Amino acid sequence: MDKDILRIAIIVVGSIVVLGMILWNVYKSRHKNRGINFYDEGDPLDNIDESLIISNEYDDFDIVPIGSAKPEDDDRAEFESDTGIDETAQTESELSEPESAEMTHPELPQLIQFSIVARKDDGFNGAELKAAFDRVGLVYGESVQVFERLDDNNLVDFTVASMVNPGTFPAYNLETFSCPGIVFFMQPRLLDDPVPVFENFIQTMRFLSADLDGVILDHQRQPLTDETIVAFRQQLSK
């Protein structure tokens, strides 16, 4: 009799667990990420700021041909008057928001993009990158094959891509993957409160640069300074 009761109890518990898993999967399937330009069809790095150019001295890598900076006069003049920093132009793909994307703060910069470049000639190893990303809570997006910072509602705050064409990270065999650097970008206009996201953006890059032995570069391919961070923070606080 005791064995029959135990068997029934096990079946009931197993049924509850399975039902819970089904309900959880249904719940997750109803949550959608923000519409970020990075997820357009084609080359994911087509939407990265043209001002970010990594030197071709890394001959062992297939560097993404991002192009050169093309600043817009009106936007640049406004930005310089407020911060004293030259703002690089947005590419055509960056200037065209998806129709479904809601612009919460249209007055803010459309894209903030910094990068971390490896000090070592052989770049960053994929397995070491994955371990470092795990330490700072970045999540691998299997559909887009990049790493993301997600908020409490499973929406994307910012994204981390590879500098190796096409900008994605492999899901497996990361120990054989390497890249000369990684690109961080966020879209302030699509965020409800971009200031705390920007603070986490900077904190994450600082941790990873120290952890991976890299150099943080700003939107003008120069070492990131406190003055530049303050300038962007002021822009986001308006």
> Could you tell me the CATH number of the domain that includes residue 75?
3.30.1400.10
Cis peptide bond N-terminal to 196, omega within 30 = no
For the chain, where are the alpha helices, taking DSSP H only? Answer: 2-29, 73-83, 92-95, 126-135, 194-212, 226-237
Q: What is the pLDDT of residue 51?
A: 44
Q: Which domain holds residue 143?
A: 34-237
Retrieve residue 131's tokens: 């371990």
Residues 51 and 152 in one domain: yes
pLDDT in tens, 18-68: 566 655 654 554 444 454 444 344 444 455 544 443 443 444 444 443 333
Residues 174 and 215 in one domain: yes
Residues 19 and 101 in one domain: no
Q: What is the pLDDT of residue 89?
A: 38
Whole-number percent of the chain with pLDDT over 70: 57
Q: What is the pLDDT of residue 210?
A: 97
Residues 99 and 26 in one domain: no
Residues 22 and 107 in one domain: no
Q: Which long-range contacts (CB under 8 A, 24 or more apart) does 74-83 make?
A: 79/235, 82/234, 82/235, 83/231, 83/232, 83/234, 83/235
Contact present, 181 and 165 (Cβ < 8 Å) = no
Q: Mean pLDDT over residues 171-182, rounded?
A: 95
Phi/psi region, residue 108 (left: phi>0; alpha: psi -120 to 50; beta: rest), is beta
Q: Mean pLDDT over residues 101-109, rounded?
A: 77
Residues 55 and 135 in one domain: yes
Residue 120 pLDDT grade (very low, low, confident, very high; cuts 50, 70, 90): very high
Residues 174 and 203 in one domain: yes
Residues 141 and 51 in one domain: yes
Domains identified in the chain, total number: 2
Residues 15 and 74 in one domain: no
The Cα 119–Cα 224 span in angstroms is 15
Query: Mean pLDDT of all residues in the chain?
Result: 74
Rounded to two decimals, the pTM is 0.61
Residues 42 and 24 in one domain: no
Residues 74 and 25 in one domain: no
Residues 65 and 112 in one domain: yes
Residue 100 pLDDT grade (very low, low, confident, very high; cuts 50, 70, 90): very low
Residue 104 pLDDT grade (very low, low, confident, very high; cuts 50, 70, 90): confident
